[in-house]
Amino acid sequence: MQDEQLNRNIDANRIVVKIGTSSLIYPSGEINLRNIDQLAFVLSSLCNQGKQVILVSSGAIGVGLNQLSLTERPASIAAQQALASIGQSKLIMMFSQRFEHYGQKIGQLLLTHDVFDYPQSRQNVLNTFDELLQQRIIPVVNENDSVAVDELDHKTRFGDNDQLSAIVTSRTNSDLLIMLSDIDGFYDMNPLKNPEAALISQVSQINQETFNLAGDKGSRFGTGGMVTKLLAAERLINENRQMVLANGRDPRVIFNILDGEPVGTWFTALQRKEISSHGQS
């Protein structure tokens, strides 16, 4: 781990954007319509620039809670899965409406872990990703929470969408994962408890010391925390890919990230090798 102020050379053609529940749902439980609109605007603009974009979106259960006017996530798995079913249909409807406003088509992919575990299903879903991207359609990805379970040796859950976004970035051979959360980046101590906490602008190696700095709890609407984000970053660094963790309060920050501005925390290997990626280096 280090914090050198290096010039960010973020040359990415195929980009995965992961947006967390906290960026889609206000603390009150109401839906953040402004952010949904701004996200659609930004990603549509990137497609107009010739970028290939994949959106990994959390929020199904959060939107489901909103739709049923509930303030707390229910304890039972069946109730949570029912909420996810309700919320996902509403969420994709809102995405469809806002992306259509900017002339951008989207396609929905609801995934479970076993899709990537088995070669035939993995290849089928990767073919779907490729076909959508070639047609300049944005795949909108979420875990299929209404059916996913994690018990005994029948594991279908990814655990959280931080891990899902890293797996999608890896499997689709994407260049960059932009993870939008409710924090400005990775700090040297908990900024919620220590006002002297300093943002670490660049991390090139993740080890036990790095994990020791991380907390382990997300918002009441989401499931992730800093540890899951570091696990995602660790996977991508090891694969010579890049990840930027930034605050999702305004999705237009994606433009700043791609312009190389020092926004959030940039996770990247010190010496990145040239890699072949769908015709791009």
Q: Could you list the residues known to form a binding site, using ranges.
A: 18, 58, 145, 161, 181-182, 223-229
Please answer whether residues 196 and 180 qualify as being in contact, where contact means their C-beta atoms are separated by less than 8 angstroms. no
What length is written for the chain?
281
- Which residues, in sequence order, are CB contacts of 186 under 8 Å at separation 6+? 199, 200, 203, 213, 214, 226, 229, 230, 245, 265
Residue with tokens 């707390």: 72
CA 58 to CA 70: how far, in whole Å? 18
10 Å CB burial of residue 25 (0-12, 13-18, 19+) is buried
User: Binding-site residues for substrate, please?
Assistant: 58, 145, 161
Helix (H/G/I), strand (E/B), else coil: 83: helix
Exposure string over 231-247, b if 16+ CB within 10 A, otherwise e: bbbbbbbeeebbbbbbb
CA 233 to CA 23: how far, in whole Å? 20
CA 118 to CA 180: how far, in whole Å? 30
User: Binding-site residues for ATP, please?
Assistant: 18, 181-182, 223-229
Cβ count within 10 A of residue 192? 10
